[in-house]
Structures are given as C-alpha cells and as structure tokens.
Amino acid sequence: MPNVPNTITLLRVALILPLAVLLRQGEFGIALALFIVSALSDLADGVIARRWNLRTRFGAIADPVADKLTMLTVTLLLAFDGRLPWWLAAAVVTRDVVIVGGALAYHYLIGTVEMAPSTVSKLNTALEFLLLASILAIGAGFVDGGMWVTVLTLATFVTIAWSGTQYVLVWGRRASQARRRRAARS
C-alpha cells in the first residue's frame, strides 16, 4: 500500500508544471487555485504523516524539496513577469541556496542533518505564501493592490534575512561543536 503523505507530496510536485504554464499564460485565477491546493496538500501530508506515524526518510526529503520548488517557481515567474520585485526574488533564492548548500556541506563534512524549521522560518514561509497568493489574486483581479502589498513585501524580506541568518548561525555553531568533539576524540 502506498504511503499517503508521500503520494500527496508527489502530487504536489506534479502540480508545479501546470502552475508554471498557467502563470506564463497569465491565468492568475486558476494559478491561485492550484497554488492554494498545493499549500493545503502540504499541510495535509504533514498532518497525516504525524497523526498516523507515516513519516519516512523519503518524505522528510521530498516534502521540503516540493515546497521549495513550488515557491521558487512561483517567485521567479512572478518576478520575470514584473509582478514581484527582483530584489525579493534574489533574496528568496539566496536564502534557499545558503540553506540547502549549508545542509549539504554539513552532511558531507560533519554528518547527518536533522533539520527542523525554526519559528522564524515558519513565519517566513507563511509570509511568502501570503505575498505570492496576494500577487496572484491581484493579477486575477480579485483584489486591488496597495500599500499593504508593500508592507507584506518588506515583512517577507525581513523574515528571509532573519531566518537565513539564523540558519547560518545555528548550523555554524553546531558544525563547530561537532568538529571540537571529533578533535577531542582523536
């Protein structure tokens, strides 16, 4: 029997291409609906995995990858379309590259990485989603833009910088401690 949370994650990955096509075609209303379905499926797979103890190594890796691919796809396409500032898209990409690169470096140089999102990182994800969904809703003509979008953009940037810095400091400290323990054993 297939693992339900992993199946939901794979279906979320399958939504990325249609979402990208809809964005390129300017179909912001349908893209918004798919984006919301993707976010809800992310919540669902996590709840199901925890509630029924269906966590797997595959899910632990695939779920955040699916999230990042979805968010990066929407972020970059909205920036390309001029609906999202490029400086914010660059900040999103930079933070993700630093986190993924740092996790890979830690894994290969130190050992197993057991990452869990911090509170600030969860806030960042929520603000990024809210900002992207808002821009899609504006593009679809469901709501008007305004100062609130600027405030949301700046708040998102602050959490990107804050969470990115936090990951670097926390994992840098853990790497340093692991190296000291290793040196003490030698």
46-86 confidence digits (pLDDT tens) = 999 999 999 998 998 899 999 999 999 999 999 999 999 99
The superfamily CATH assigns to domain 4-185 is CDP-alcohol phosphotransferase transmembrane (TM) domain (1.20.120.1760)
Q: What angle do CA 9, 13, 18 make, to 5 degrees?
A: 140
Local confidence band at 1 (pLDDT 50, 70, 90 cut-offs): low
Q: Tell me: pLDDT of 184 over 80.
A: yes
**Could you tell me the pTM of the whole model?**
0.93
SS (H, E, C) 14-51: HCHHHHHHHHHCCCHHHHHHHHHHHHHHHHHHHHHHHH
What residue has token string 């190594």?
57
Whole-angstrom Cα distance, residue 81 to residue 173? Answer: 39
Average pLDDT of the chain to the nearest whole number: 94
Average pLDDT, integer, range 122-128: 96
Spans of all domains in the chain: 4-185
The SS3 assignment for 3 reads coil
Q: Which of 100, 39, 99 is nearest to 71 (CA)?
A: 39
> pLDDT tens-digit profile of 154-181?
999 999 999 999 999 998 898 888 888 8
CA 78, 84, 139, 37 torsion-angle sign: positive
- Tokens found for residue 180: 């000291």
Local confidence band at 152 (pLDDT 50, 70, 90 cut-offs): very high
